[in-house]
Structure 1
Amino acid sequence: MTQADTPTRLDALRRWAAERHRLPPESLHLHLAAGDASFRRYFRLRLPDGTTRILMDAPPEQEDSRPFVSIARRWRSGGLPVPRLHATDLEQGFLELDDLGDEPLQTHLQGETDPATLAWHDKALALLHELQNSASPDDLPAYDAALLGRELDLFSDWCLGEWLDMARPPSWQALRDTLIEMALMQPVVTVHRDYDAMNLMVHGDDLYLIDFQDAVAGPISYDMISLLRGRYCRFPSGRFAAWVEGFRQSAIADGRLQSTLSAEAFLQQVQAMAAQRCLKVLGIFCRLTLRDGRDGYLQRLPHFLHHLEDSLAELPGHDEFRDWLTGTFRPALEERLATEGIQTGSSS
């Protein structure tokens, strides 16, 4: 049981909200609205006038809410769609936010070829342009070589070492170096860092940004591939490339990219960025399972392996690593998942 789940902490959250709204604590009923991969939990508070708010419980021993508060204020003042902060108590780790409802973007996705799915992704990409053009990366932590490397090492340490008990292939270091180098050659912008459908809330006809506390100053393509190679869809290569080219043209038009950057060169940078994130996610999902005891993440590994294979297939070089991925890693992954009772199906 985490600290966020203890009755004592929930009672403290109820007393805090009751004091803020000058209501008796016993009159407040908090309903769990959501949890995530961290120690944060979200509760819905209904006030006597029918207004609802979201209460964030972020135990300060495990979660530092200061970046979330700072970024929320800056982005909102810049006109970006983020929840309003109604109250903050950083010492206790309690925040009161706008209630954006219960419809993250993935609830509106109906498959890779569905017109509504495509339209929502167009809308999410338009919001990404707005984010990069409106939010300065100044004062955000740098998405530098050290951080990119630590993320990649999650794959070798947790997925290979801890979960599969496999050694890194000889080709690993060359791929690792290439992915870091290609990320660092991109222009630096504000990066949400988890620009996935689950962190875009549909509220009315608009999309709102949530879960942005890990934002960094980093590569221009990172959030785009978080969306297009996320956990819910696997788009055909032609559709993916068309979105990437549309992004390139928009970024050139408003000055985020140099006009001399060709479509082919940018697509290769994007594929490398996607490979970096897929490797990181494979490692994180194994760590969440093994270290944190979280359920449901192993089932997602085959999906991100498909994404990784799609990205590497379009990235020149690294044939040795691709062969290892297909001939050694995939069979080992599927065998290990089978021992957990998880059927992977045929690759496609």
Structure 2
Amino acid sequence: MDVVVWITAAALAAWLWLLLCQGFFWRTDLRLPPRTDPGHWPDVCVVVPARDEAEVLPESLPSLLAQEYPGHAEIFLIDDGSSDGTGALARALSDRCGGLPLTVDSPGEPPAGWTGKLWAVRHGITLARAREPEFLLLTDADIAHEPESLRELVAAARTGGFDLVSQMARLRVASGWERLVVPAFVYFFAQLYPFRRIAAPGSRTAAAAGGCVLLSAEAAERARIPDAIRQAVIDDVSLARAVKRSGGHIWLGLAEHVDSVRPYPRLTDLWRMVSRSAYAQLRHNPLVLLGTVLGLALVYLVPPAAVFFGLVARDGPVALLGGLAWAVMTATYIPMLRYYRQTLWLAPLLPFTAFLYLLMTVDSAVQHYRGRGAAWKGRTYARPDATS
């Protein structure tokens, strides 16, 4: 019984530390500052890597074409070997919608040592540099931008002195599984990379959200983007680290005017999204995987288990400690549910969602050792040290 009490007390201590000492990760009020006219609106090139995106492109691309930007901006959509007519559809949408100039091109298959997305990004940046833009907007093909999104991003970068400004797009939450899993995905990401620490002077924390990254062309060249991260499966975090290591000032926050339109209606869709890169996040290290599993179990599973054990065994201290830990956990999740406009009754279910993520992480490792790790749209990527 003493062992159970100590384990439950450790879980409560972990939650108190997360609440107070992990960069207030649970707060969701970090947004782009109010727009200030920078005086001069720099040229911007938008680079959109796209592979088999015909399903979502009619919702996302028109929003980019319709950007209300006071300066010069144009779009480069890079068709990464699509088999569904993505490139032709993009041209048709441009002809029908008008708006910003659009160039559609293809880089061919990526060489060894490159992920397909980053090879496409490299091609897009190469085309863009011929226009000598001051900023590059790297955005995914499933991301829809409200008309003033680009203007707000550039204003934030210029007035705040940032080399990189990124927004975590608001992901789709329509199905039951999306409501259960998606807000937790952003919550866990913020727990790993507290947004307030990313922009803090002297902080080593670096991360970005790959769906929406405004990057100064000078910082991209200085950090050798994307060549320096060509093997990265989790390319957004790697990009932010490279920019920060090269002396860049970066910012990441939650979006109000940037949304993902990609649906994940079934648990299998969400499972695939998480498991394809979860083990890469752990650097393909079995010991880190073991530590992660034990850590998730202690922090997320022990509190509710302690409550039920304490009630059944009539052990008041265990039930009380478990209940307090579960209450802190629930309270820290409520702001994210409010941001996603979801019912607060989902908050006490966070342990169940965390258990799903634990299983997804283990499955990611299993698929890696079976040779099917980091698979996405017909491509499977080996870990970096396995490529030449």
The question of a shared fold, defined as TM-score above 0.5 by the shorter chain, is answered with no
TM-score (norm 1): 0.31
Which TM-score applies when normalising by structure 2? Answer: 0.28
Higher relative contact order (CA 8 A, sep 6+): 2
